């Protein structure tokens, strides 16, 4: 926790890189697109217990 706090406090967490695109070989999806693609995984059926 101290390492995360120190990184943020020193301003080192404010950077944005294109590392994800380099690793994936394509632009990464944004959160809205990810949630839309996996919408069913975020919904629960109230009639059956969650066995996860």
Evaluate whether residue 33 is within a structural domain.
yes
> Cβ(29)–Cβ(37) under 8 Å?
yes
Range of the domain at 32: 16-43
Note the pLDDT of residue 13. 79
Distance between CA atoms of 47 and 52, rounded to whole angstroms?
15
Q: What is the pLDDT of residues 2-37, one digit of tens each?
A: 888 898 888 887 777 899 999 999 999 999 999 999
Find where tokens 């693609």 sit: 37
Contact 28, 21 (CB under 8 A): yes
Is a pLDDT exceeding 80 seen at residue 48? no
- CA distances 26 to 3, 32, 37, Å, are 31, 17, 17
- Name which residue leads in pLDDT, 23 or 48: 23
Q: Write out the two tokens for 43.
A: 């919904």
Q: Is 1 part of any domain?
A: no
Domain count, the chain: 1
pLDDT score of 47: 66
Please indicate, yes or no, if residue 49 is contained in any of the structural domains: no
């Amino acid at each position: 926790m101290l390492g995360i706090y120190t990184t943020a406090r020193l301003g080192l967490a404010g950077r944005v890189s294109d590392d994800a695109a380099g690793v994936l070989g394509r632009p990464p999806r944004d959160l809205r697109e990810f949630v839309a693609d996996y919408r069913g995984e975020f919904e629960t059926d109230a009639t059956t217990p969650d066995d996860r």
